[in-house]
């Protein structure tokens, strides 16, 4: 095969390979917030935060949980729920930090979590017993990409 024909064939193969390469996925920014009003404590309290739209996959990059009116002396632990590949998982986020001057407890974490199309994202707080009452707010930020 002459060199010119080989170069032309190689160029065509490279062009075909480039045309089948995936283009970068478009990212749609998303954030959500939900608030659970003050209620007597059960050892756990959860709120639904977001439902991933059909045809999209959610990438969560940051989660924050705060209690603004906690009357419980207990430490509060937070988790976030996502579903991937049909498997639902509660991801531990850790203990909320108590503010020294007011009754607030706050947690703010960078994360890298995923949720599949049409699945729910929820946040739960847990305490050791039923002592006191609690209300909390949960937020996340991240982005949606096309599910493939």
Fold for the domain defined by 24-146: Jelly Rolls (2.60.120)
Q: What's the pLDDT band for 41 if we cut at 50, 70, 90? A: low
The pTM assigned to this predicted structure is 0.77
Nearest Cα residue to 142 out of 111, 120, 96, 106: 111
- Phi, psi values for residue 70, rounded to 5°: -75, 130
Q: What is the dihedral of CA 117, 119, 123, 126, to 10 degrees?
A: -140
Indicate the domain borders of the chain: 24-146
Whether the CB-CB separation of 8 and 2 falls below 8 Å is answered with no
Nearest Cα residue to 141 out of 96, 118, 111: 111
Question: Residue 19: what pLDDT?
Answer: 46
């Amino acid at each position: 095969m002459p060199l010119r024909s080989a170069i032309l064939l190689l160029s065509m193969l490279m062009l075909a390979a480039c045309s089948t390469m995936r283009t970068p996925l478009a990212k749609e920014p998303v954030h959500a917030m939900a608030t659970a009003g003050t209620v007597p404590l059960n050892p756990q309290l959860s709120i639904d935060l977001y439902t991933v739209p059909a045809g999209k996959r959610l990438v969560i990059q940051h989660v924050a949980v705060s209690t603004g009116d906690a009357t419980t002396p207990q430490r509060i632990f937070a988790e976030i729920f996502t579903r991937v590949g049909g498997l639902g998982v509660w991801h531990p986020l850790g203990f909320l930090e108590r503010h020294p001057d007011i009754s607030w407890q706050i947690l703010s974490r960078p994360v890298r979590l995923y949720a599949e199309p049409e699945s729910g994202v929820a946040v739960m707080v847990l305490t050791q017993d039923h002592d006191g009452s609690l209300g909390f707010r949960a937020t996340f930020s991240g982005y949606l990409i096309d599910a493939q």
